[in-house]
A and B are shown apart, each in its own frame.
Chain A
Amino acid sequence: MKNKLYITIPYLFSIGLLIFSLSCSRKELIEEIQIKNNDSKLVVFSLITPNKYVFVNVRKTQPIGESNNVNTKDSTFDLVSTAKVEIINLRTKIKKILPEIEKGVYGVSPSDFSVIAGDKYALMINFQNLSTYAECTIPSNATVIDTVITKLNDVVYTNTYDTTTLNLSRNLLKAKDISTPNNVYEYLGYSGELKITDKYNNVVILSASDFIIITKQLNQCDFSINSGLNKNEVKIVQSWQILTVYPLLHNFLKTKKFQRNELSVSQNSPFLIFRGVMPTITNIQNGYGIFAGYLISPPKQITVTR
């Protein structure tokens, strides 16, 4: 018996090499995992504001791992028809069932249902065995700004992506928030055409690509305009509109943008993969998406001179 143990070293070495070579096979080292107890939920998108249509976009989530859970050619594939969508003004108790005006989109005109600043609303959706509930409050006062632009100095700005250099006029925008001057919970946004960068703090404060991006409180804004002005040139930036929203909506949109960016970045290199936990922000009970209110300021024209 003992003698059988005394195998020769070359034989031992051969066994080692054989096992090592077998281990080089990477076959089936990646396998798909089935997620249990993962049922679909409703996804609701609705932003409401006075004097405009109320639209509610209703979709259904697709469980990760289920076949055909994406459709890159038809984004309407997960819209939900024949859902019961009801909105209630919780102050006046006025209710309205929203009819489906196109596939998965339910709406009501301002004449049939009024959205009032400062009021609280509830949205209830039922579809088959799925139901959601959400509440939101419309801000009481729209942020109205009174601007004063002061020329500070000229700066050189280098575009990160095309490496072009711009000579910019750095201006100070002093804005007064007439509605809620001391409300630190109010966030401000912008809808326009230009990208404006706070060069000195390296903060993009406003962006055309997203309809709302966090700003500092407007009365603290100090920014340059990313569109080089020649000497004595006058630039008129038209149609500024400031949105007044609650932090939830701001965070939702910020996260949406963040998730999109990170998915895009991680496709470039596995080493740039997002290593944190992606936040899921929603106020839809038993579902996903957003139901929020906002106010919009009248368009504002600002003139910048270099």
Chain B
Amino acid sequence: MKWFCLILLLCYFNSKAQYVVSGTIYDTQDSVGVAGLVVSFTNLSKFTVTNDKGFFKKKLKGIPQKVIIKSMAYETVELDLNNIQGDTTINIYLHYSQKELSELVITSNSIKESLSNPMVGVTKMSAATIKKLPSLGGEKDLMKALMLLPGIKSISEGSAGMYVRGGSPDQNLILFNNAPIYTSNQFFGLLSTFNTDAIKNIELYKGGIPAKYGGRISSVLSVHSATSKMDKFDINGNLGLITAKIQIDIPIIKNKAGILFSTRRNYFDLLKNRIPTPQLKNGIPNYHFEDYTFDFTCKLNTRNELKIYSYLNKDIWNASKDESYGGGQKILYKQTLGNRIWGVNLNSIFSKKFQNIFNVNSSTYEYKVANGVEDTFKNEINNFRTGIVDNSITNHVNWFASNAIIISAGLRFANQKIIPHLLDYSNAKQEISIKREQKSTNELTFYNDFEWKISSKLKSVAGYRITNLKNDTSRFWIEPRFALNFSINDKQALKFGYQHITQWLHLISNPGLGPIEDIWVASNNKVSPQKGFQATVAYEREININRHDFLLKSDIYYKEFKNIIAYKDGFSSSNFTIYSNESTPSWESFVTQGKGKSYGLEFLLEKKQGKFNGWIGYTLSWTKHQFDELNNGKLFFARYDRRHDISVVLMYNFNAKWSFSTNWIYGTGQATTIPIQIFSSPLFKINANKFDSRGFSPTYASSDRNAYRMKDIHRLDMSLQRNVKHRWGEGIWDLSIYNVYNRRNPLYYYMGYNVAKNSYSIYSVSIFPIIGSISYNFRPFWKK
């Protein structure tokens, strides 16, 4: 039996001519309501769509005979309703479809669900969609898939750092099963930390953020891990040019408990070690990353489900170089970063009206940098480390108060300990330790969302979030949220969203060149929390062209940021990571706070179903910052200000074996600060009170902050996939071509000396020419 359904309650109310059928549809794997499912009443030609909690309700004239729930992600369910004699409430559990390896499965939210969802700026995407897109080096990446959507951008080509509607990466709350992740990048910032095989689906809120999420002012990315199917042992893996992955699904008790374990490893270091020439090997950095995801899910009974999960990742980059054999130096540079997450989730359905979700989790982020130079005269090593330990406990309740009202509320307590910015400096004769400590933070939050279907055309969600924060100071704030959906008719909706959010964590990022060295700091009595305000107006419309359904979404947004953080001119992460005998001031003296605003328009035309699907996205936006201590107090464009951004994604499923996808992107060049003039700077002779004309000391003058634009970015990628069947199982070959027409998109600019011209010039560095890759996804022992 491929599906089963469980009717928990069948309520009877007498009604003269009209019947109201309502209920909630759950995913059997995690007992979480499934949004966007079309619920059809066959004989009456009526349908409705589940909301984001899986709830649906339909007033019908006449007795429905059969209800059908169809979805490409789940097995189809048909329920016979012939015997009902009044208003009816049904709860249904769905099984996740097991077809995703062999068939094209696009399960982004349906058009109807999008039109009926009161929240604005919500995007949902399944792992299956991500796996269909072209990849860099054969590694399908969640963040890169998201960046093909309007309003979500990377700072430069290849980067996995996510900038949502003009917000910086630290303004995105990234959750893995409700546990926060403090670094979502690895592989030099080119890949996200998420193993696509270990993901079931994701939700991204960029406009209307529900009250249950807080602490970040730009967006929330909620990643749900895949869980065991609990019916039979399964194993699948992937071999690509960058990584190898394997996933094992072990049922413990059939259809009641199971373990899913996934792991991924990059093997750059193993390939490097194969290089026979020591001199050549010495110049190549040693690098690898690895991650592990564990999920144990157990259905304790029909109403309670327990989930225990864990995630671990490590990214190690050792760029040390030994040239001491030639009388040169030993240069040390080693960077290690990683996340460790574990959590327990208990999902309970107390009654047809109450659902309770209890979650405990711990997330640890650690970042280390070691650098130094050793030669005949020096022997200096700097060891820097920092991080965050975040422990939290949350209880969340969904109360389906009536067919028109859903109330959700929760209480969350979190303790965040900032691992001190600890710098150990040593040379041959002395050791110095500098510790910049921050007190641990206790955060108590109560939140409440009130979803009200005011009429058949009008829905609203009003919410608030109250937070009390204590570290070396005590703060209290309230964050109001509001969303409204006005259905013009069945095919058109007008939406409005408004939110105020406070963020007490800051990520200080280098504004210049070099490796990524981001450092988290907490607000204290010297550094104020960030505050964000956003208002969005959206219009959504279902369009039918030649019997094909399209969804047109257009959003206008305006955002304001206060107390955003940046390094002062002349400061960088080196002030944390490298010892200087000139000063050891507090980190607060390195940074300055300012404000910003971002506004723009987003358009999305999307075809979600059928053999041929995909989307076209366009964003027109402005992002500006103002800091009293930067750029002489003048307004300047943020580095990630992107005037125009276009993405076109097309996917075609030829047949059961072959599928093809392609994407083309275009983005206005990154705003940057570059040296523009050079001159000789003479030495001053105090006795003569005169600058000496002799002696050359080149000095350069930079442009105003971010006054120049790098070259525009555009690129075409393609992917061809072929499903193959073997006696031992199934597999998919994936051939991807990244940057098909070999566009030299800039990664960064630098100033260098041109010998031929005898001049200092600005150079653009691009590291991604046309790159072909092939990967193989295999699933032994599997027969459809």
Contact = CB atoms under 8 A, between A and B. Distances in A.
Interface stretch (A68-76, A144-152, A179-187): A68-76
A40 B677 CA distance: 7
Contact of A75 (B427, B695, B701): B695
Interface in B728-784: 733, 735, 737, 744, 749-751, 753-754, 757-767, 769-774
Contact of B769 (A6, A13, A23, A203): A23
Contact of B773 (A12, A20, A165, A260): A20
A300 interface: no
Interface stretch (A82-90, A126-134, A169-177, A276-284): A276-284
B301 interface: no
B689 A31 contact: no
A236 interface: no
Contacts of A271: 319, 331, 333, 371, 514-515
B684 interface: yes
A201 to B, nearest CB: 8
B687 to A, nearest CB: 9
Contacts of B765: 29-30
Contact of B758 (A19, A20, A67, A197): A67
Contact of A60 (B655, B679, B735): B679
B752 to A, nearest CB: 8
A233 interface: no
A276 B571 contact: yes
B686 A211 contact: yes
Contacts, number: 276
A69 B582 contact: no
Contacts of A6: 657-658
Contacts of A282: 701
A32 B761 contact: yes
Contacts of A202: 432, 581-584
B691 A269 contact: no
A73 B377 CA distance: 29
A31 B693 contact: no
Interface stretch (A91-99, A117-125, A135-143, A154-162): A154-162
A236 B693 CA distance: 34
Contacts of A78: 679-680
Given A62-B679, A69-B678, A163-B427, A276 B567 contact: yes
Given A15-B735, A64-B761, A272-B371, A278 B702 contact: yes
Interface stretch (B387-395, B416-424, B668-676): B668-676
B66 interface: no
Contacts of A23: 769-772
Given A75-B695, A161-B377, A273 B771 contact: no
B693 A5 contact: no
Interface string A1-26: 01001100100110111111011011
A2 to B, nearest CB: 8
A277 B702 contact: yes
A52 B567 contact: no
A288 B377 CA distance: 37
Interface stretch (B49-57, B487-495, B505-513): B505-513
B582 A204 contact: yes
B708 A35 contact: yes
Interface string B684-726: 1010111101111111111001001001000000001010100
B697 to A, nearest CB: 6
Given A105-B693, A211-B686, A256-B681, A63 B699 contact: no
A95 B699 CA distance: 31
A22 B740 CA distance: 12
Nearest to A159: B429
Contacts of B630: 277
A35 B570 contact: no
Contacts of B86: none
A19 B771 contact: yes
Nearest to A73: B696
Interface centre among A41, A60, A277 (most CB of B within 10 A): A277
Interface centre among B319, B427, B699 (most CB of A within 10 A): B699
Contacts of B753: 70
B333 A269 contact: yes
B155 to A, nearest CB: 14
A243 B687 CA distance: 12
A7 to B, nearest CB: 9
B544 interface: no
B156 to A, nearest CB: 14
Contact of B722 (A12, A71, A79, A296): A12
Interface centre among A28, A40, A274 (most CB of B within 10 A): A274
A40 B378 CA distance: 41
Interface centre among A25, A30, A158 (most CB of B within 10 A): A30
Contact of A49 (B582, B689, B705): B689
Nearest to A253: B684
Interface in B602-657: 630, 654-655, 657
B14 interface: no
Contacts of A75: 680, 682, 693-697
B693 A79 contact: yes
Contacts of A258: 570
Interface centre among A25, A47, A69, A71 (most CB of B within 10 A): A69
A213 to B, nearest CB: 9
A259 interface: yes
Nearest to B753: A70
A268 interface: yes
A33 B762 contact: yes
Contacts of A112: none
A47 B682 CA distance: 12
Contact of B702 (A66, A71, A268, A280): A280
A64 B676 contact: yes
Contact of B735 (A16, A160, A274): A16
A206 interface: no
B680 to A, nearest CB: 5
Given A59-B680, A65-B761, A32 B754 contact: yes
A279 B737 contact: no
A40 B676 CA distance: 9
B694 A5 contact: no
A25 B261 CA distance: 38
B331 A273 contact: no
Contact of B678 (A64, A161, A191): A64
CB-CB nearest 9 A-B residue pairs: A19-B772, A276-B572, A16-B774, A279-B569, A275-B510, A61-B677, A75-B696, A275-B572, A271-B333
9 contacts: A6-B657, A29-B765, A71-B758, A75-B680, A75-B697, A163-B379, A203-B582, A275-B511, A280-B702
Given A55-B689, A69-B759, A158-B430, 6 more contacts: A16-B774, A23-B770, A45-B681, A45-B682, A273-B512, A277-B569
Interface of B: 241, 319, 321, 329, 331, 333, 371, 373, 377-380, 427-430, 432, 510-515, 517, 567, 569-574, 578, 581-584, 630, 654-655, 657-658, 673-682, 684, 686, 688-691, 693-702, 705, 708, 711, 720, 722, 724, 733, 735, 737, 744, 749-751, 753-754, 757-767, 769-774
